[in-house]
Amino acid sequence: MQAWLRRKNIDLITVHEEGRRLVPTLGWPHLVALGIGAIVGTGIYTLIGVGANLAGPAVLLSFLVAGVVCACAALAYAEMSTMMPAAGSAYTYSYAVLGEGIAWIVGWSLILEYSLVVSAVAVGWSGSVVEFLTGIGVTVPQAIAVGPHAGGVVNLPAVLITFAVAGLLVVGTKESATLNAVLVVVKVVALAVFVAIALPHFDAANLEPFMPHGFAKSMGGDGVERGVMAAAAIIFFAFYGFDAISTAAEETRNPKRDLSIGIIGSMVGCTVIYLLVALAAVGAMHYTLFAQSPAPLALIMRELGQGTASGIVSGAAVVALPTVLLAFFYGQSRVFFVMSRDGLLPRALSKVDARRGTPVMITLFTAVLVAALAGVARLDEIAALANAGTLAAFTAVALCMLVLRVRDPQRPRVFRAPLAWVIGPIAILGCTYLFWSLPQRTQLWFLAWNVFGVLVYLLYARRNSVLGRGGDA
């Protein structure tokens, strides 16, 4: 029990041994682009249809609920990250505030989140590219286009894009962030084109009935759980990503200023983008016509007679997904890196390349893990697990903020979250309710994952913890 409760010293949390320090190269524009790159991606291009199928036009409320919960969590992240500008995000904050055992569970949950998101996005990008190549007359054999569950052998495009992103991150963090910023501009422009074309076709009749499946999660006659909150629990996937910014704390030149700008700026920007796109979509066409489409925005453009705009939106989706890959892959590699540096995972993985300033070993390890998942695993039935992992991390960060407000009220806070005793409980209760709104099978898988994680902690991590050996990670 003593091991479970041991905590890092906040005053020493940015002190690391030579060869295991990350190099600060990022400014706030890189962080905002990293956040928007992670948030604006698969979610808005595909989940608007999924959400409408579960909530009808009230998917607007689903986006709003998910956005409010994420905004409260983002404020907590901004306070914690500027107090502890070290890599590791929610895992690091939990280690310093709640103890090693909770930190392990949070880190283990983040591994789940990032692994599934990166793998799922890689598979999604593969599908978009195969479809694009087919459109120009290039046929990709099924054996290398999809995994075994879909009749293929390996999803080669998904594997290749994973290693391409890993290679970019190995080259340098700043170079990766700069390319990401350029691609983010492209996809935001494409969404602006969609809104500019679809919004003038707004028809209030398309919003009726507004809430056909009610507010709370309920089981429909077809065995599918529907309602505004059921949709919000899935749409939540479209909002998180700003937590990847907090993993960049150690590589930020001026973390006390730039982290809060990056986290809050990306959240506000993305919430506005999502609400505008969702309003334009459900107003331009009745939700039943695009709810089942894998590419609802492009479908709406085609139905409005805008073939060129449809092509732009579809093309931007191909561009959008690698930015999501880059942001989440970056986040996962940094969480792995810090857990390795702390001794909870093998220490050999946490060496930083002296010339590039990047953790090459852990990046390649992450690439192998993600590529294996993306290449052969069936992800469609377990992708919602990523939401469960994120909800656990968000809850932990909000709790850390409140605990430190009581335990250490005099500690300097460069960014002080407003109304902490309002936004903290909203984030905690909101995340708990969203978790409850997830499919029951997802909840059970998440429990099984963490039971396995606790066993790993007891058998390996607890014994090899640097903190447990009397050192500073």
The DSSP-derived string for 60-80 is HHHHHHHHHHHHHHHHHHHHH
Q: Which helix (H) or strand (E) holds 219?
A: strand 218-219
Please indicate whether residue 448 or residue 117 has the higher confidence score (pLDDT): 448
What the block records as the tokens of 319 is 């561009």
pTM: 0.83
pLDDT at 147 over 90: no
Work out the percent of the chain whose per-residue pLDDT is above 70.
Answer: 92
Q: Are 69 and 426 in contact (CB under 8 A)?
A: yes
Any idea which of 45-59, 203-217, 274-288, 446-460 has the lowest mean pLDDT?
Answer: 45-59
Cα dihedral value 129, 185, 85, 102, nearest 10: -40
- pLDDT at residue 366, as a whole number: 87
Range of weakest confidence among 2-11, 191-200, 268-277, 348-357? 348-357
Length of the chain: 473
pLDDT at 398: 96
Contact of 345 with 339, CB cutoff 8 Å: yes
To 5 degrees, how large is the angle CA 356–CA 361–CA 362? 105
pLDDT at 372: 87
Report the pLDDT value the prediction gives residue 344, as an integer from 0 to 100.
94
The pLDDT value given to residue 63: 83
Stronger pLDDT, 305 or 77, i.e. the higher one: 77
pLDDT reported for residue 404: 96
Provide the terminal-to-terminal Cα distance of the chain, rounded to the nearest Å.
20
Output the pLDDT for position 306.
Answer: 81
- Domain annotation for the chain: domains and CATH numbers: 29-464 (1.20.1740.10)
> Closest Cα to residue 469, out of 365, 347, 363?
347
> What pLDDT score does 152 carry?
83
Cα–Cα nearest to 13, from 96, 78, 108, 127: 96
225, β-bridge pairs: 219
The winner for highest mean pLDDT among 10-19, 288-297, 432-441 is 432-441
Lookup: tokens for 239:
């909002």
* 218, β-bridge pairs: 226
Regarding predicted confidence, which is higher, 357 or 129?
Answer: 129
**In this model, does residue 17 exceed pLDDT 80?**
no
From the list 267, 271, 275, the residue with the least C-alpha distance to 244 is: 267
**How much is the pLDDT for 42?**
60
- Residue 95 scores a pLDDT above 80: yes
Contact call for residues 14 and 81 (beta carbons, < 8 A): no
pLDDT at 38 over 80: no
Sign of the CA dihedral running 410, 414, 419, 420: negative
Compute CA distances 355 → 56, 172, 349, 351, whole Å.
Answer: 53, 10, 17, 12
How confident is the model over 398-428, as pLDDT tens digits? 999 999 999 999 998 889 999 999 999 999 9
294-314 confidence digits (pLDDT tens): 678 878 888 888 877 777 777
Question: Residue 473 pLDDT more than 80?
Answer: no
Greatest mean pLDDT range, 30-44, 52-66, 218-232, 239-253 = 52-66
In sequence order, the 6+-apart residues with CB closer than 8 A to the CB of 167 are none
Query: With contact defined as beta carbons under 8 Å apart, do 312 and 193 qualify?
Result: yes
From residue 119, how far is each of 114, 159, 180, 246, 355 by CA, in Å? Answer: 8, 9, 18, 21, 29
Q: Is the pLDDT of residue 364 over 80?
A: yes
Average pLDDT of the segment spanning 217-237: 78
Band (pLDDT 50/70/90 cuts) for residue 100 is: very high
Q: What is the mean pLDDT of the chain?
A: 84
- Residue 282 makes CB contacts below 8 A (sequence gap 6+) with 52, 57, 59, 60, 206, 207
pLDDT category at 380 given cuts 50, 70, 90 is low
